[in-house]
Homo-oligomer: A and B are copies of this chain.
Amino acid sequence: MINANGNFQLLKTNYLFQTVAQKTKQYRVEHPDADIVVLGIGDVTRPLVPAVVEAFHKAVDEMAKAETFMGYPENTGYEFLKKAIIENDYAPLGVDLSPEEVFISSGAKSETANFTDMFGKGNTIAITDPVYPVYLDSNIMSGNAGKVSYSGEFGKIRMMDCIEKNSFLPEIPKKRADIIYLCSPNNPTGTAFTRKQLKKWVEYANKNSAIILFDAAYKAYIRDNDIPHSIYEIEGAKTCAVEFCSFSKTAGFTGVRCAYTIVPNEIRCHVKEGGTVSLNKMWNRRHATKFNGVSYITQKAAEACYSTEGKAQIEENINYYLKNAEAIRNCFKELKYTVYGGKNSPYIWLKVPKEYTSWQFFDYLLENYQIVGTPGSGFGKCGEGYFRLTGFGSAENTAKAIARLKAGK
C-alpha cells in the first residue's frame, strides 16, 4: 500500500468553517421554522455591481465568437488586469510595480496556502494567534511546520499571541523568525497596523533576512489615514514582503474567484546547495507547472472594478458592510460587552461573557437568538473567550439580529 502524506494526520479533523456549517445545518434540521441569521463566515451578500455584471456579459459574448474567443489564459494573468491593479491599487500610494511582479489567481486562500511550496525545511515560521486557520494548516500539510511535541506544538512554528494586553497586535519576535504571516486589517480580530507599527516589522524582516507574507484581503475597509493599504507603502518592504490581495471582500467576488499576489523582483531566498534564488522566478515557475491561469471572463470582470462606475458602485457596498459592522459593534457595546474591531474592518471581535467558552457562546447565540457567529477559539488558543461577527450580512438581517439581541430574545 502506498504511503500517504503523514502530515495530514497532524491536522485537526475539521476545518473551522465546516464545523460551523455542520452545527448550523443540524440546528436547522432540528428547528425547521427557525429564522437563522448568519453573521459567521466572512462571506459577502451584496450582488455583483452593475459595472462588473456588464463586463461579465461582454466577455462571455467575446468567448462566443471565433474571432474573439480566448483559450488558455496567461498563467500569471493578463497584462490588462495587471496594469489596472498597478495603476489603481499601487501607483496612487506611490508604489511602483512591474506587471511580472503581479500574479493573478483564483483566490487569496489558495495563494497563501500554495505559497508554502516555495519554502524548504528549517525555516522558523511566525504566525499570530488567533489566526486565519489556512496559514497554519497549509504549513502542517507541507511539512514545513516541523515535528509536533506531546503538547501539540510544532517545532518550526512560533505562535505570536495577540491578546487584549497588546491590543491584539503581534509583538516583534525576540527569537529569530524566518517567515512571518501578518494580516492587516486582521481576520479575525478586526485590528489593523498603523504605518508606524508596520514599519517595525519591515525593519525587523530586512535586518534578519526574513520574509513577511502580508495578507491585505481586507484593505478596502480601511478608513483611517494612518493605516497603510499596502505593505509597500513602507520603505524597504520590496526586499522582504509578499502581499496577498483579493477581489472577494472588495468587489464581492467570493463566488467569482479572483485575487492577486505581489511578489517583488527584489526578494531572494537561500538555496541549500549555495547561492540565492529569486522568489518571483520560483513563484512564476510554480504557476507555469501547477496552475493554468484565471478565466478571461473573470479577469475582464475584475478589470471592471477599476472603472469609474465600478469604483463608485463598489465603494457603496463597502460602506454598506462597514455600516453593518458599526451597528453590531454599537449594539454589543450598549449591551455592556467588550468589543474590538468593526472599524477599518468588517470584523467584530467580541469578548464573550466569562461563564462561556467560545463554542458555548456559539451555542448560546444560536439557541437563544438564532444568530450564527464564529467561535474565537477556532482561530487559535488566544481566541478562546472571544467570538467573531461580521458586517457581511444584509442590512435587514443585521438589524434583525440586533433587535433580537436588544430585546433579549
Which A residues lie at the B interface, using CB under 8 A?
Answer: 1-6, 8-9, 11, 15, 18, 41, 43-48, 50, 53, 56-57, 60-61, 63-66, 69-73, 106-107, 109-110, 113-114, 117-123, 133-134, 137-138, 141-142, 178-179, 209-211, 252, 254-257, 268-273, 276-277, 279, 282, 285-286, 288-298, 394
Contacts and interface: CB of A to CB of B under 8 A. Distances in A.
Contacts of A107: 291-292
Nearest to A144: B5
B257 A294 contact: yes
Nearest to A7: B120
A150 to B, nearest CB: 14
Nearest to A64: B53
A43 B8 CA distance: 36
Contact of A70 (B5, B69, B255, B292): B255
Given A53-B64, A60-B56, A273-B9, A15 B254 contact: no
Number of copies: 2
Contacts of A279: 4
B69 A43 contact: no
Nearest to A65: B47
Q: Which of A56, A134, A211, A292 is most buried by chain B, counting CB atoms within 10 A of its CB?
A: A292
Given A5-B282, A46-B66, 4 more contacts: A8-B282, A73-B255, A73-B257, A138-B289
Nearest to A47: B69
Contacts of A5: 117-120, 282
A45 B66 contact: yes
Contacts of A6: 120, 271-273
Contacts of A133: 289
A392 B56 CA distance: 26
Q: Which of A46, A210, A273, A288 is most buried by chain B, counting CB atoms within 10 A of its CB?
A: A288
A355 to B, nearest CB: 32
A5 B139 CA distance: 13
8 contacts: A2-B179, A3-B123, A5-B118, A6-B272, A8-B285, A46-B69, A48-B63, A56-B297
B66 A47 contact: yes
Contacts of A4: 118-120, 269-271, 277, 279, 282
The 7 closest A-B pairs by CB, nearest first: A4-B269, A3-B120, A43-B71, A113-B290, A15-B288, A1-B209, A1-B270
A388 to B, nearest CB: 16
